[in-house]
């Protein structure tokens, strides 16, 4: 019984930790469109693109020159 309690506690702690890491983000483009991302986009300095995952799971890259703002929700 004690092992089950410890395992359940560790699982709940792990899920709570993972839930705290993700912060949804809204990316506003110069043409006024808004794209929602699962997490903060990563900027690749070598290519000049922001890389992120949209809410539907699609991985996307957008040129830095097309991005007006990046805001956390």
Which domains occur in the chain, in start order? 23-73 (2.30.30.100)
Mark 41-63 as b/e (b = at least 16 C-beta within 10 Å): beeeeeeebbebeeeeeeeeebe
pLDDT at 73: 85
CA separation for the pair 41, 30 (Å, rounded): 17
pLDDT at 20: 53
pLDDT at 3: 74
Side by side, the strands of the sheet bearing 42-44 are 42-44, 49-53, 59-63
pLDDT at 16: 56
What is the token pair recorded at 33? 């469109």
Q: Within the chain, which residues score under 50 in pLDDT? A: none
């Amino acid at each position: 019984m004690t092992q089950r309690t410890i395992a359940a506690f560790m699982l709940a702690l792990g899920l709570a930790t993972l839930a705290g890491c993700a912060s949804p983000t809204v990316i506003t483009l110069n043409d006024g469109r808004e794209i929602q991302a699962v997490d903060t986009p990563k900027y690749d300095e070598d290519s000049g693109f922001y890389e992120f995952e949209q809410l539907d799971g699609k991985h996307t890259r957008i040129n830095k020159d097309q991005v007006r703002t990046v805001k956390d929700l």
